[in-house]
Amino acid sequence: MLKGIPPILSPELLKVLCEMGHGDRLVIADGNFPAESNGKNAIVIRCDGHGVPELLDAILQVFPLDTYVETPVTLMEVVAGDTVETPIWDTYKEIVAKYDDRKESAFGSASRFGFYDEAKKAYAIIATSEKALYANIMIQKGVI
């Protein structure tokens, strides 16, 4: 056990977060995201039983967002014609606002397939059991 480290962060996940360097990206994926096929060149960490918001909050306690890019947080856009609501995005914005002064302006977005393309270049992908649709989020590491 370590003091000050959120217990949801497993030793494997902490190791990966520590290994990441400035500019590396981390995907926290919902339960429908094709983590294994998109993560063939990345480290895939299973966090079954957890949702994206609690992992995002815990990670941002130890993971600085990149201040050298305009939008270090990327969401997957809703596909045109899809009527899915995305209230989880508001939760993400509240969480990020606790750790980054840019608040909502730290967010960008990518089309579904654009997000997949960027995920294939990520350092790591965390596969969760998140049930919300379009709940995938990518964060870019900054410096301390």
Domain holding 19: CATH number? Answer: 3.40.1650.10
Has residue 2 been placed in a domain? no
Has residue 1 been placed in a domain? no
Any bridge partners for residue 45, and if so which?
A: 126
User: Would you state the pLDDT for residue 65?
Assistant: 98
Has residue 6 been placed in a domain? no
* Residue 93 to residue 73: CA distance in whole angstroms: 10
Mean of per-residue pLDDT scores for the chain: 97
Structure tokens given for 101: 């002064």
Number of domains in the chain: 1
Q: Print the domain residue range for 103.
A: 11-140
Has residue 71 been placed in a domain? yes
User: Would you state the pLDDT for residue 37?
Assistant: 97
User: Residue 57: phi, psi to the nearest 5?
Assistant: -60, -45
Has residue 3 been placed in a domain? no
Residues with catalytic function: 22, 66, 116
User: Would you state the pLDDT for residue 2?
Assistant: 82
In this prediction, the residues of the chain whose per-residue pLDDT falls under 70 are none
Which residues, other chains included, contact 122 with Cβ-Cβ below 8 Å and sequence gap of 6+? 24, 25, 26, 27, 39, 42, 138
User: Would you state the pLDDT for residue 1?
Assistant: 72
* Residue 93 to residue 128: CA distance in whole angstroms: 19
Query: Per 3-state DSSP, what percentage of the chain is helix, strand, and coil (rounded to 5)?
Result: 30, 20, 50
User: Would you state the pLDDT for residue 58?
Assistant: 98
10-46 pLDDT, tens digit each? 999 999 999 999 999 999 999 999 999 999 999 999 9
